Amino acid sequence: MRVTTVAASAALMLLTVAGQAHEPGDHAPMQIAQAQAPGAAPAAPAAGGNWFPSKYGPNDTIGAMNLLTPQKVLEAARLVQRGQVYALGVPVGRETPAYPPRFAAVTVMMPDQFAGGIVPSENKVSYADDMFTGWLGVGSQLDSFAHLGIDNTFYNGNKAADFMRTTGVTKLGVESVPPMVSRGVLVNMAKARNKEMLDEGEIITADDLRAAMQAQGVAIRQGDVVLIHTGWVAMLERDPARFGRGEPGIDAGAAEWLAGQGVVAVGADTWGVEAVPFKNPNRIWEGHQILLAKNGVHILEVMDTRALARDGATEFLFVLGQPRLKGAVQAIINPIAIR
């Protein structure tokens, strides 16, 4: 399937360092289109718009995750009343739509077992191994603070030239993200707008989030993980090409407001959390810059929130132990919600 793509500035920065991008060949997935780039209560932003050093200290690397205290974990655990478990990750394969030039492929082999052979042994051992080829920002994913910055400066003032390496980042990698166990909040924007699914480019503002939460009887607390349900994830199965051409999502103001509430992560059932096409095509991925670079708030993409929305869930125990891939800036994940 061929779609029109516009090169991502963040990806281009990395490819400039890494050299020629890998060509996925005949197994390339449909590419995401219409995009140009993918403690105590938080203190107020520094005067003059300065965003580093971080309010958590000049050497901090975990951002808002500092707010995940044992007390917060216990608070979240008390939300479990039914023992009902929800997988929030989607299956990832060769055809999963991905932000260009990303793709993912699994190749299964039976080493040294040719033409139906077995491992030499009396008990006739057979085994299979698999090899992953691709990018880690495919399907349900976690964005680390090394993923996106502002003018080659990332969270807490870290310069790309100082820590960005083709062999893996030396700071801010996904392996250093603490386990994410907290209260999860679902904001059902599809329900708020009385529709099954929001449209591509449909913007969610801070006022929209506040109104939806008030109507749904839920409020954000410090240290929460906030997931936004738009219904868009259904397009993965119904129309993958449409899923990749755009998405509903938050604007910069909503990102600012969420960060100001002291949340540790913001996610959605879309591939980029922000509304695409962008309202102003000359200002792209500002929400990512606000959350990741300026406030140290992680982003969770392609969260399958359908079951939570169907069951009317508004709060739950959220659990994520991401793959600890050393030096990676993203990770394919499957968070769990428990009620």
Domain at 305, CATH number: 3.50.30.50
**pLDDT tens figures, 288-324:** 999 999 999 999 999 999 999 999 999 999 999 999 9
**Separation of alpha carbons 173 and 327, rounded Å:** 5
Structural domain includes residue 255: yes
**pLDDT tens figures, 112-159:** 898 888 998 999 999 999 999 999 999 999 999 999 999 999 999 999
Structural domain includes residue 26: no
The pLDDT of residue 62 is above 70: yes
Question: What is the DSSP-derived secondary structure letter of residue 234?
Answer: G
Residue 161 CB contacts under 8 Å (≥ 6 apart), including other chains:
152
**pLDDT tens figures, 196-252:** 999 999 999 999 999 999 999 999 999 999 999 999 999 999 999 999 999 999 999
Residue 27 CB contacts under 8 Å (≥ 6 apart), including other chains:
94, 103, 105
Percent of the chain with pLDDT over 90: 81
**Average pLDDT of the residues of the chain:** 88
Strands 225-229 and 315-320: unpaired
Provide the H-helix boundaries in the chain: 9-18, 70-77, 160-163, 189-192, 206-216, 235-238, 240-245, 252-260, 286-288, 306-310
Binned at pLDDT 50, 70 and 90, residue 23 comes out as: very low
Structural domain includes residue 126: no
5 burial via Cβ count (<10 Å: 0-12, 13-18, 19+): middle
Task: Cis check for the bond before 45: say yes or no (omega within 30 of 0).
Answer: no
Structural domain includes residue 284: yes
Structural domain includes residue 4: no
Structural domain includes residue 100: no
Please give the tally of structural domains in the chain: 1
The pLDDT of residue 2 is above 60: no
pLDDT of residue 40: 43
pLDDT of residue 263: 98
**Separation of alpha carbons 201 and 130, rounded Å:** 38
Residue found under tokens 């993980």 = 225
pLDDT of residue 18: 35
**Separation of alpha carbons 236 and 98, rounded Å:** 11
34 compared with 278, residue with greater pLDDT: 278
The answer to whether the beta carbons of residues 191 and 309 sit under 8 Å apart is yes
Binned at pLDDT 50, 70 and 90, residue 9 comes out as: very low
Residue by residue, DSSP assigns 11-70 as: HHHHHHHH-SPPP-GGGPPPBP-S-S---PSPPPPPGGG---SBTTBTT--SGGGGG--H
Structural domain includes residue 63: yes
Residue found under tokens 């929130």 = 305
**Separation of alpha carbons 339 and 329, rounded Å:** 30
Strands 298-301 and 265-268: parallel
| pTM score, whole prediction | 0.87
CA–chain centroid gap for 60, Å, is 21
The mean-pLDDT minimum among 43-52, 57-66, 122-131, 136-145 falls in: 43-52
Which amino acid does the sequence have at 68?
A: L
- Structural domain span for residue 325: 40-92+137-338
Structural domain includes residue 102: no
